[in-house]
Chains A and B, each alone.
Chain A
Amino acid sequence: GENVEQHPSTLSVQEGDSAVIKCTYSDSASNYFPWYKQELGKGPQLIIDIRSNVGEKKDQRIAVTLNKTAKHFSLHITETQPEDSAVYFCAASIRSTLGRLYFGRGTQLTVWP
């Protein structure tokens, strides 16, 4: 099956700085890569996703890049705010599995005011 590695496990930044979280995947058949934000006591919330036919996608302060050759994808958050503090998960999915998600272990992001 697919194996998703995520780094770093913890990330602390000052408010206004940028944060970058990186993930790698092992199965070249993976074609869908979502990112989820999970706040304490809540379920994961989809914040952005990218498909394998696209190299980059941006939504306001959040962007995701995908390098299919190297099998890695990254989440970029600019102008971080304290409310961005949460655990972020990357995931990968193979179309033939009807969207079964393989998750990374998560990154605890803390934004200090």
Chain B
Amino acid sequence: ETGVTQSPTHLIKTRGQQVTLRCSSQSGHNTVSWYQQALGQGPQFIFQYYREEENGRGNFPPRFSGLQFPNYSSELNVNALELDDSALYLCASSLVSGAPTDTQYFGPGTRLTVL
């Protein structure tokens, strides 16, 4: 186990709704990254939060947004859900300290189904 937890485990929404996914990072980690994994694909980078600020975004529209809190936990918010948003959403935490430590540890993911 990595110590990264995510909630909820599964979620079913309808098109147009909004969803919030949550992630608690591993103890001592200060960076959280979110990835979307469609069925049969590799994870795709959504964005990363470092010291409570967004630090890099992948090719995802603005309706994907996030937050990082002082305790380094994080939320992913998706507005105006579309059918193609159905996927496994993964949170990964890491420690960025200036040393070459980029190892990311993933949580179990949240399975989002949009009907």
Contacts and interface: CB of A to CB of B under 8 A. Distances in A.
B56 A44 contact: no
Contacts of A4: 42
Interface in A25-65: 32, 34, 36, 42-46, 49, 51
Contacts of B50: 98
A34 B104 contact: yes
Contacts of B66: none
A105 B109 contact: no
A99 B31 contact: yes
A33 to B, nearest CB: 10
Contacts of B103: 34, 46, 49, 99
Nearest to A93: B102
Q: A interface, how many residues as a size bin?
A: 20 to 34
Interface residues of B, number: 30
Contacts of B100: 32, 51, 95
Contact of A106 (B41, B48, B102, B106): B41
A101 interface: yes
* Majority secondary structure of chain A interface residues (helix, strand, loop or mixed): strand
A15 B31 CA distance: 39
B31 A43 contact: no
Interface in B35-51: 35, 40-45, 48, 50
Nearest to B109: A43
B81 interface: no
Contacts of A103: 42-44
Among the interface residues A93, A95, A100, A106, which one has the most CB atoms of the partner chain B within 10 A?
Answer: A100
Contacts of A46: 103-106
Contact of B45 (A6, A102, A104): A102
Tell which of A45, A51, A101, A102 has the most Cβ of chain B within 10 Å.
Answer: A101
Interface of A: 4, 6, 32, 34, 36, 42-46, 49, 51, 89, 91, 93, 95, 97-106
Given A32-B102, A42-B109, A102-B45, 9 more contacts: A4-B42, A43-B90, A46-B105, A95-B102, A98-B50, A101-B43, A103-B44, A105-B41, A105-B42
